[in-house]
Amino acid sequence: MELNFPEIENKILRFWQENGVFNKLREKNKDGKPWSFLDGPITANNPMGVHHAWGRTYKDLFQRFFAMKGRDQRYQNGFDCQGLWVEVEVEKELGFKSKKDIEVYGVDRFVEKCKERVNKYSAIQTQQSIRLGQWMDWDNSYYTMSDENNYAIWGFLKKCYEKGYLYKGRDSVPWCPRCGTAISQHEILTEEYKEIIHKAIYFKLPISDKEFQGVNFLVWTTTPWTIPANVALAVNPELEYGIFSNGKDKFVLLKDLAEKVVGKEFVLEKKLLGKELKGLKYEGPFDNLPRTVKAEEENEKTFHTVVLDKDLVTALEGTGIIHIAPGAGEEDFKVGKEENLAVIDVIDEAAVYLDGMDDLSGKSAKKNPELIFDYLSSYKAGQFLFKIEDYTHRYPTCWRCKTELVWRVVDEWYISMDKLRKPLMEATKEINWIPDFGKERELDWLKNMHDWLISKKRYWGLVLPIFECKCGNFEVIGSKEELKERAVSGWDEFEGKSPHKPWADKVKIKCSKCGEVVSRIPDVGNPWLDAGIVPFSTMKYDSDKKYWAKWFPVELVCESFPGQFKNWFYSIIVMSVVLEKKPPVKNIFGYASVRDEKGEEMHKSKGNAVWFDEAVEKIGADPMRWMYAKQNPADNLKFGYINAEEVKRRLLTLYNTFVFFTTYVKKEEFPNDLKLSPANTLDKWIISKFNNLVKKVEESFENFNPATGVNAIEEFFITDLSLWYVRRSRARFHEMGEDRDQAIKTFYYILLNLVKIMGPVMPFFAEEIYQVLKTPDMPESVHLTDWPEVDKKKIDNDLEGSMGKLRNLVNLVLAERTLLGIKVRQPLSQLKVKSNELSKEKELLEILKEEANVREIVFDDKLAKDIELNVELTDELKKEGERREFIRTVRSLRKELGLVSGSIVQGITSTANVVFNEEELIKDIGSKYFEQVASEAEIVGDVKKAYKFDGKEYHVGIKK
């Protein structure tokens, strides 16, 4: 049966649209108990990829499920709008290379371009989400660039300021030279580390202390561009070093690494412990540069000395002597602070060497490593250079533009975590994390994270409401109203504009300490502030506390976890703990990443990224959703068309079951009442199975463990419904009477309720089937029905157990037949069964007889194995086997002709040398006539087939 998912889905979308079904659902539940879901905003910067559809499937699934349980919901979707991701795309669009291009173009025009981009892609993503079947109040989506969102963050920052959490710090920060901004620790994910080959250098620094005359420190670094920023060396006090000589050169380095680095020609002259090197002074290659001279003047005592650090210096690689450049490295900066070292800045915001650095000035530090090598090899006749090597390591890159990062010491704004760390960890523990390792990951992050760097030297983002005065005072404005009140100039230019650069920068206030007129700092905010505030800004925290209290804390957030422990999960917890001293959410559901079919990361540049639009029209939304919902959220999902085909194949099984029903049961035969009182064992069994299924699925959805429920549904419709119930019930639909009525009623009840519980996962497919099954007194859409009640009285676990055992026996028999080379169609006289646990209920035994295709079943406790088949074939059994094989062949030919099973065919010709009752055969097959012929040549029909049975060849032809 052909099943065109995209076609069905587009038809159902129109049906929902034309009948306002979503609004009817909201109306239906409007007085229900609230169930609060908070959407993590999607970055409105590109069309959706298939990975977005994974999360959206979960979001929709849970909302639809709780709607069936009568819960009132907000259905608010969110768009993340501000930040570097949008800026970089707009820069690309406009062909910009650096921040200067933006300034020349005009910050106001640039910011408008960013807004335009957000509006364009949020509209596209809305359409795509609708296509996925996601039900949201699309006209009421929130945008993090909105005034209310930005001003709500002002309120939060003001509170941080009042509590003393907010400060300006001078620190060494990861920095993107292209974007010209600091990258916060939160934004450097493991996936932003790339395997990169750099030139590592071994260089010599002559020791200036007299007793070490002629001896050099041998130092190793993988970032040669930082050498001009060197102010000290670090050694491990506890490790053993040595002076090594080849008669000409003398080096100090770690004893155990010496042979590897300098070779055997250098022999050990003297052993030294690291701590004996402390305080030694050395000469550097850049000592004449004005910056170096200034640094020496600043702190002569610590300048170019050896310091001790047993954590930083290991015996694993290099020389055991580390070059310390506090101006160009994070660890270095820390050591510098502890040891009171001077900081030498060497690069600007584009990683270009600063003025006053000889030939280096004006050149990119990262792009030209040979500058340093040339300098070192030419200067003082190569006195400083020892050797250069390729070195492969994992190095961090910018999450947005993939440029390699550098470290700079700059002034940035931070939220201090000292006082927050503990309450944040407490709040984290109160949240239910799914999968449960999420809690540990979040706690681990909270334990180790630095203060939160919230400023960015960029353009499109939250304008940080920080006003810093020359007198040292700084103040934070907490709302638009407060700004208006404090404004001494510029308000008129700002009024009516969104709180963005450059308009917000016009407003000046008076310093409350010294009365000076003060400007806002030029920085914008970290975008995770924008997303972190949404448990407040989107729920009227500032304007309607009653409404907010109704929806806060939220029941569920649901996002892909890589990254979010440091980002969204983190920021909503921080903001909620600061504002309300409690967690913003009860349950956090996380899921892994979508990979390609081979399990590799998808990348546009790699060519293996799959766009949503293409995938949804190729696969269909429902099979995609089914595939997503079945997945264990803790594992990465391998997405691909081959996997999708497999999913569709299984769904087709269900569809064929449904088609079977509608083929044999006319609409007017659909039962009016669904009060079930089944007499047939098979009916009792499937009804029991189904009620257990409903229970299991309900629990799995309620506990945010959808994969368990969805896999149980699939198992049910394939293994129980299709392969057992329907296959075994086929004949019951052909014969009018009470048994047929019972079968219809049971089957109808199962299908109707099955599509209800599948509705949250496959909303289109469920609707398609429901529309056929529904009778006039039922709701117009499956999504307006209630979640089916579990009928506990209909659950018969004993019967399910017996049937399970029976099916195991059947499998044993089938395996035994395969082993013996006896076809299933060949009846056998007897089956001996060891277990007397098998229910001896007559109906079950009948089923076993038929499935095993045996004439009788005998219980025998002394049997050596579980079953034993009597394989002796009498003539009668042989003939019956032949007959069944014949019938099966005719049936498969009928299928080839596209005729549904049971429909009458014109006639059959056959060479089968059969003596079986022709009349009976005609009836069994549903044929108008049956003719036996003498040779293959006489076979006629629309399709023909030759087959072998028991070594003999047969020919059959069948006429439509």
- Contact residues for Zn ion (CB under 5 A)? 176, 178-179, 398, 400-401, 403, 469, 471, 473, 511, 513-514, 516
C-beta of 366 vs 832, nearer to Zn ion: 366
* SS3 assignment, position 199: strand
In the complex, what is the shortest distance from the CB of residue 183 to Zn ion, in angstroms, rounded to a whole number?
Answer: 7
C-beta of 168 vs 727, nearer to Zn ion: 168
Q: Are 516 and 470 in contact (CB under 8 A)?
A: yes
Beta-strand ranges (E) seen in 483-523 are 487-489, 508-510, 517-518
C-beta of 8 vs 469, nearer to Zn ion: 469
In the complex, what is the shortest distance from the CB of residue 514 to Zn ion, in angstroms, rounded to a whole number?
Answer: 3
**How do strand 554-560 and strand 585-591 relate by DSSP bridges?**
parallel
Q: Give the C-alpha separation, 51 to 21, whole Å.
A: 27
C-beta of 104 vs 514, nearer to Zn ion: 514
In the complex, what is the shortest distance from the CB of residue 471 to Zn ion, in angstroms, rounded to a whole number?
Answer: 3
Which tokens is 492 given?
A: 């008129």
What angle do the packed helices 621-630 and 706-715 form, to 10 degrees? Answer: 110
- Which residues fall within 8 angstroms of residue 914, CB to CB, at 6 or more apart? 879, 882, 883, 886, 932
Which residues share a beta bridge with 143?
79
C-beta of 401 vs 425, nearer to Zn ion: 401
C-beta of 412 vs 882, nearer to Zn ion: 412
Q: Give the C-alpha separation, 711 to 717, whole Å.
A: 10
In the complex, what is the shortest distance from the CB of residue 226 to Zn ion, in angstroms, rounded to a whole number?
Answer: 19
In the complex, what is the shortest distance from the CB of residue 469 to Zn ion, in angstroms, rounded to a whole number?
Answer: 3
Residue that has been written with the tokens 């533009």 in this structure: 401
Which tokens is 675 given?
A: 């009060």
CA trace torsion 938, 942, 948, 952 (10° rounding): -10
In the complex, what is the shortest distance from the CB of residue 401 to Zn ion, in angstroms, rounded to a whole number?
Answer: 3
Q: Which of 885, 903, 881 is nearest to 946 (CA)?
A: 885
C-beta of 404 vs 843, nearer to Zn ion: 404
Helices (H), 775-839: 797-820
In the complex, what is the shortest distance from the CB of residue 518 to Zn ion, in angstroms, rounded to a whole number?
Answer: 7
In the complex, what is the shortest distance from the CB of residue 215 to Zn ion, in angstroms, rounded to a whole number?
Answer: 43
Q: Which of 784, 791, 782 is nearest to 764 (CA)?
A: 782
Is it true that the peptide bond before 502 is cis, omega within 30 degrees of 0? yes
Q: Are 858 and 831 in contact (CB under 8 A)?
A: yes
Amino acid occupying residue 133: G
C-beta of 469 vs 507, nearer to Zn ion: 469
C-beta of 193 vs 437, nearer to Zn ion: 193
In the complex, what is the shortest distance from the CB of residue 283 to Zn ion, in angstroms, rounded to a whole number?
Answer: 37
C-beta of 471 vs 946, nearer to Zn ion: 471
Q: Give the C-alpha separation, 667 to 775, whole Å.
A: 9
In the complex, what is the shortest distance from the CB of residue 474 to Zn ion, in angstroms, rounded to a whole number?
Answer: 9
In the complex, what is the shortest distance from the CB of residue 192 to Zn ion, in angstroms, rounded to a whole number?
Answer: 10
C-beta of 99 vs 250, nearer to Zn ion: 99
Q: With residue 636 as reference, give the H or E element that holds it.
A: none
C-beta of 192 vs 559, nearer to Zn ion: 192
| Backbone phi and psi for residue 649, each to the nearest 5 degrees, phi listed first | -60, -40
In the complex, what is the shortest distance from the CB of residue 151 to Zn ion, in angstroms, rounded to a whole number?
Answer: 25
Residue that has been written with the tokens 């004949």 in this structure: 731
Q: Give the C-alpha separation, 134 to 60, whole Å.
A: 5
Q: Give the C-alpha separation, 170 to 326, whole Å.
A: 12
Q: Are 459 and 501 in contact (CB under 8 A)?
A: yes
Q: Which of 550, 594, 687, 442 is nearest to 74 (CA)?
A: 550
**Alpha-carbon Rg of the chain, whole angstroms?**
38
